[in-house]
Structure 1
Amino acid sequence: MNIRTRKSNHRAANDTVSETESFEELSYFIPLLKEKKSAVRVGALKNIIEVTSFQQRTDQLHEIEIDLIDVVCGILTTPNKEEEELKLAIQAIELLSIHTGTLRHDFFKRVKGFLSPIITDSTEYHSVVLVCGAIEALSVTCLMNCSQPDSYDHTIEFIADIIRTEKNKQILNSALKAWILLLTKLDKSKINQHLELLDRISELPSSGNNDLRITSAIAVAFLVSEIDPSSLSPVEGDSDYEDDDEDYDEDEEDEEDEGSSHTDNGHSAQESNIQDEEEEEEEEEEYSDSDSEDYENYDGDNEIIQLVEDLVLNSSEKTKAKVRSNALLRKVLKTLKAGDPPREYLQVTSETYFFEGWRAYIQLHQFKKVLRNGLTFQWNLNKDLRSLFKTQSFSNHEMERHRRSIQPSKSKQRTQSLKKDRRNTSAVYAYHHNDA
């Protein structure tokens, strides 16, 4: 065998995941990641991804986590790396951050120290693929490992600055995904502190980038579903509105008293009914006049709904990606129009886990992307991963009954919508009738 053939075979062997190497200790891969040959480094990264997806190496990772993450992150900061190697390094960082066994917060600080300069420099010194990957890896690492509220908030604001200023659509999309992922861990009252970005995000569904349109629509649906009115600062005029409601109720009581006294004084029931009907008509006119002023601030909501609806209606392509994105946009519309949250299911052996709401949806789909086929394995063994989700498990029989129970009838949906806040109900009613 000549030298060229031997080199070729060696390179080919390192481009595949070796079953023998996938059972080596994690420390075995550290010197391989420092090799000059790209094929050797790529092979080592693939093995690390295989190990951290489908095996439990808690004790090993605890012993060598800093050395290992330094070497993996070092690949990202070294120039002239191929796109495949960069993507594998990003995935390895995310999987290591999810895996149990790390000193969580120390691990996060280490990763942030490597990735922040890459994100800050943006495309001036780095490829778009690397910057997008660094943003995503930072968000996943922060979500799983950051234990200090100040540091967590700083990371959210760091990514929010990118959303405010970035013009590259791919980087903007990655930043928006990362931002809403980090928000899913906050209480509703704290999410309200970040609503100043809603105006910026509301502009993005009209973007020419399909991924950015989808992400911004999900972000809007998530923020709308998580807004906590009780923790919002009072808006000028709200107290007057409440006083008007009280006066309105008092007037109704006075009118009822007057009506009963008229009847007691000898007025016929027919005259009393006619008078009541006239008063009700006057009240309805006053109510509609006041509503026309009160609902002016819903114009923005209707514009967002219209933007998302147009994305579905104007999409003529029938590719797989388009079909998936349209299904997702319809979920967003359900939330914006009727407050209906998305529902997802995860089958793990004989049990099915039920997820409801945009928080769980965003988190679940991020971990599906990172863990891929290893999600069910990690779900069984990784308590840190499970603790993120407030979910419940069902047997297959129980799950079937649960599926049927969460499908409300049309009449029930109509009743539920009538019980909503008077402003929200009227806004939805007006929206539907304007479309008719």
Structure 2
Amino acid sequence: MGDPALSRRGFLAASAAAGLGMTALSACGGDSDGGSSGTTTIEWWNISTTQPTKDVWAALAKRFEAQNPKVKIKIVQLENDAYKSKMTALTASGKLPDIFHTWGGGVLRQQVDAGLVEDLTDRTKGWGDALLSVARQPYLIDDKAYGVPFDIGMIGFWYNKALFKQAGVSAPPTTWSGFLDAVRKLKAAGITPLALAGKEKWPGMYYWAYLAMRTAGVDALGKAGDAKDFTGDGFVQAGQHLQDLVDLQPFQKGFLGAAYSSPTGQAAAVGNGKAAMELMGQWAPVVEADAGKGLGTGLGFFPFPAVEGGKGVITEVFGGGGGHALRKGAPQAAVDFLKFFASAATDTELVDKTGVLPVVPAAESAIKDPNIKAVQAQLKAATGFQLYLDQAYAPALGQEVNDSVAALIAGSKSPQQVTESITKIAKEEQ
């Protein structure tokens, strides 16, 4: 979901914090059972710990095993942050699971550069190339494929239609000034405009990233990462626009200590009608219903507004999806499983039962939720795409973006200081 990845410098600390012993570190890697049956065991590490996805994925693994009697899929499922901590430690150990969840970008590049990830370019020819182009982009490194997507999506505003109506906000805003006006109207009506998981930092990063895209343009974030310089006017302006929002005190009480998916967190605040909006990905409706009551048809979606005078446009989107990569030297059975997972039949089931957006064009007809259809329409009309910053950049830089933006929201850093802090870490990584 785009939350922070730990830096290389935190490998040992992450290992200790996650309670990783050498048993866990040496448990990765498929091999024969050593018996006469010649069964190959494939370890599949993923983050699908919530329902209904957990059971759907387990059933898919059983179906693959039935079709491939000599293969056993061993599933290891961890929550998002725990998964990232353990994968950081495993990367340091030099041995990754056979099949593992990835968001692509800079984190995957670091694993590729360490020689730990299988090049799938030739092994996925034909079926891999047929997947949705925008979904494949985060896993392409130097024009080679190192991962296969199973989901794609974008960040946008999810809003409570009834609370908007109550506050006299007649339509979702399309400009930043209009958005700030909507926030003021909601506050004037005694409604909390926005829910934010300040404790987890990554949800706040979404605001700065989108504002940077809207002021400096979608290509600016990539160029700044390459140049190791985020001090340009567009990035400072992004922070100033975010400061204008923070000054309105739009977030729920206690937001700095709030988690994302807990019963008292960001998603629940929206799902229970305690806040009018959240800036979140396509998974938001499911999490709102899981953590709170959920809004059903009372929930709406709109893209991040345009900033007047900025170089970016409202059709440039920010987000990402999930994918799978293989460890270097993974057996052919692991490739076969990725092909099975990326088939039209599997993707249609995933769209129908778990609410993901399709990466196989033939599965698009399975979308039924009107809000997911709205997200899909925005993605298909997108004129530019930017991956989550804490995945697009190397881990330490992504972490610094999250930390610095969180400091701005908390009132301890200025817009200028945010760009200077991010630039400092970018230069240290050279």
TM-score interval for Structure 1 and Structure 2 normalised by the shorter chain? under 0.3
Select the structure that is richer in strand: 2
TM-score by length of 1: 0.24
The structure with the larger Rg is: 1
